[in-house]
């Protein structure tokens, strides 16, 4: 099968399209024919190995798993003997390792059924960013009706979902974006939109109950100044900073400072499990959240997609199976007996 691989850390130059063996499935695994796979900042960190502490999880000298990708949407082709939640032919979305491939094996508890009315390309952009935003707003921001919520980076992957989830909780939402993305943030439902290139969103007259910071480039002191005395700051991810520790320094300072102030300064690592994914799917089916795809690419153009991601060009998706969204209908397949295939064919992408 085809897969986008890397055997060292670096820029998009390290990516290659290779033929690799079909993945085995364990007792609780589901093998999925990948229709779409998201392109997000988490994959960028996997590719570059930055900041350096991330390599403790990814692999110190080279990636432990050479196949890239986390987000996935596709059709179940085979299941392990202890799988109870899915059967062959089910349309699923979720989070795994090595999703930039024709097939991937993922534990059933990291998957959920694709929400009704959502095509495969959109579902492929849903799990990582959507569940992270939902946890930032609900679990850590504890947003309540009427709260004033500021989303920094509202046009990005996590930010665009955070705006919608906060609106679903009847909050008053302010979103920041660059000039060319202001209309997008308005369409997401933000009550107020601020062009961060022209105005400082942290210098507003009224302070905020909750700030969701997905950008990572604002000083902790300035963020706290924009919060109400008992407000909550949620720092999403470790963006910003240098190669050595990235944004971890700011996250650690937030945790330490939170012990000495009424303000809650929170940082977290998102959990993509069945419960969170099903909650996210419920929000989508209720019409509160709409997955949005900025642009899609075939698998072999993964490097181009990553370069656009680095340029901040919105939510991107790899169309792996080659089917268009309108024709991506579930079909019964069974590859459990398909012989394993191996090849040494490799080319850069």
61-88 pLDDT, tens per residue? 899 999 999 999 999 999 999 999 999 9
Please report which confidence band the pLDDT of residue 216 belongs to, taking 50, 70 and 90 as the band edges.
Answer: confident
Residue 51 has a pLDDT of 79
Residue 340 has a pLDDT of 34
Residue 346 has a pLDDT of 53
pLDDT in tens, 299-347: 999 999 999 998 876 789 999 985 453 333 333 333 333 333 333 345 5
Interval 83-108 mean pLDDT: 98
Contacts of 261 (CB under 8 A, 6+ apart): 224
Residue 210 has a pLDDT of 99
Coarse DSSP helix, strand, coil percentages of the chain, rounded to the nearest 5 percent: 30, 25, 45
Residue 337 has a pLDDT of 34
Residue 243 has a pLDDT of 54
Range name among 49-63, 92-106, 264-278 with the lowest pLDDT average: 49-63
Of 281, 243, 258, nearest to 73 by C-alpha is: 281
Cβ-defined contacts of 5-9 (< 8 Å, 24+) = 5/66, 5/67, 5/68, 5/346, 6/47, 6/63, 6/66, 6/68, 7/62, 7/63, 7/66, 8/62, 8/63, 9/47, 9/48, 9/49, 9/50, 9/55, 9/62, 9/63
pLDDT beyond 60 at 184: yes
Pair 6, 64: CB distance under 8 Å: no
The chain-wide mean pLDDT, for the chain, equals 89
User: Which fold does the domain 2-126+293-348 belong to in CATH?
Assistant: Quinone Oxidoreductase; Chain A, domain 1 (3.90.180)
pLDDT beyond 80 at 10: yes
Q: Which two tokens stand for residue 271?
A: 């959990």
Q: Which two tokens stand for residue 81?
A: 């003997």
Please report which confidence band the pLDDT of residue 241 belongs to, taking 50, 70 and 90 as the band edges.
Answer: low
Sign of CA dihedral 214, 218, 224, 226: negative
Please report which confidence band the pLDDT of residue 255 belongs to, taking 50, 70 and 90 as the band edges.
Answer: confident
Sign of CA dihedral 180, 204, 166, 141: positive
Interval 155-182 mean pLDDT: 96
| CATH number, domain 129-268 | 3.40.50.720
Residue 339 has a pLDDT of 33
pLDDT beyond 80 at 22: yes
Q: Where in the chain is the domain with CATH 3.90.180.10?
A: 2-126+293-348
Range name among 5-14, 142-151, 266-275 with the lowest pLDDT average: 266-275
Interval 194-208 mean pLDDT: 94
pLDDT beyond 90 at 348: no
């Amino acid at each position: 099968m085809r897969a986008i691989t890397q055997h060292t850390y670096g820029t998009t130059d390290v990516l290659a399209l290779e033929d690799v063996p079909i993945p085995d499935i364990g007792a609780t695994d589901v093998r999925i024919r990948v229709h779409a796979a998201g392109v997000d900042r988490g994959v960028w960190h996997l590719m570059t190995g930055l900041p350096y502490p991330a390599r403790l999880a990814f692999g110190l000298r080279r990636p432990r798993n050479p196949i890239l990708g986390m987000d996935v949407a596709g059709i179940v082709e085979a299941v392990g003997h202890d799988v109870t939640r899915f059967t062959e032919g089910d349309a699923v979305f979720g989070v795994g390792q090595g999703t930039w491939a024709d097939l991937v094996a993922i534990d059933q508890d990291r998957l959920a059924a694709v929400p009704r009315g959502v095509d495969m390309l959109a579902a492929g952009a849903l799990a990582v960013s959507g569940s992270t935003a939902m946890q930032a707003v609900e679990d850590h921001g504890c947003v309540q009706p009427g709260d004033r919520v500021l989303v920094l980076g509202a046009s990005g992957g996590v930010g665009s979902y955070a705006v919608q989830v906060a609106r679903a909780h009847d909050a008053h939402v302010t979103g920041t974006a660059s000039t060319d993305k202001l209309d997008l943030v308005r369409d997401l439902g933000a009550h107020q939109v601020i062009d961060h290139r022209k105005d400082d969103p942290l210098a507003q007259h009224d302070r905020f109950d909750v700030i969701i910071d997905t950008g990572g480039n604002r000083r902790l002191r300035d963020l706290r100044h924009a919060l109400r005395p008992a407000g909550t700051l949620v720092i999403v991810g470790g963006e910003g900073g240098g190669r050595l520790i990235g944004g971890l320094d700011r996250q650690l300072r937030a945790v330490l400072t939170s012990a000495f102030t009424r303000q809650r300064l929170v940082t977290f690592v998102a959990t993509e499990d069945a419960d969170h994914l099903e909650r996210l799917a419920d929000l989508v089916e209720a019409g509160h959240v709409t997955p949005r795809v900025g642009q899609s690419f075939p698998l072999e153009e993964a490097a181009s997609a990553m370069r656009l991601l680095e340029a901040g060009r919105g939510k991107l998706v790899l169309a792996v199976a080659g089917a268009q969204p309108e024709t991506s209908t579930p079909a019964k397949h069974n590859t459990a007996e398909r012989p394993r295939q191996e090849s040494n064919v490799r080319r850069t992408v």
